Amino acid sequence: MVVHKLAGNVSGLTAAVGKRPEYAKPNSVVVVCGSARRHIEEGKDFEPFQGQHIGPADENYGKPYALINTDERSPDGATLLHEVIHCAGGQHNKRCRDVIDYGYRRNGLNAEIVGHLQQAFFRTA
């Protein structure tokens, strides 16, 4: 986990994360924790920004990493796990109780989610 003062945009953050020794470790994911907002202009975020997985959609073609906004709270504490699952390749689904979905009290982990986590982070040599 990296605590980082977020400045600028996602491209700048991705460049900084890519230089960290933690980023090169196999079977791991970097989690950046810091004050963050979705829009560069202050006051333009109209919904809480709790976290994001930074991957190819954000022009990060290296290993994905997670961004957790320390200015917001996740009422059920699932945001970190949600973003790490995205880094492992998990996608949103329609089951409102699964941690990979959105909503309050999302606490389910199905076999597909566990499989993504095992494959991404718990490989044996």
d(CA 43, CA 39): 8
d(CA 101, CA 97): 7
Residue-wise pLDDT tens digits, 58-102: 888 889 999 888 777 766 678 888 899 999 988 887 777 788 887
pTM (2 d.p.): 0.80
| Structural domain harbouring 10 | 2-121
Total tally of structural domains belonging to the chain: 1
Cβ contacts of 98 within 8 Å, gap of 6 or more = 106, 108, 109, 110, 113
According to DSSP H, which parts of 27-110 are helical?
A: 79-87
Asked if 100 and 87 count as a contact pair (C-beta separation under 8 A), the reply is no
In this structure, the strands spanning 31-34 and 2-3 are parallel
Residue-wise pLDDT tens digits, 41-60: 777 776 777 888 999 988 88
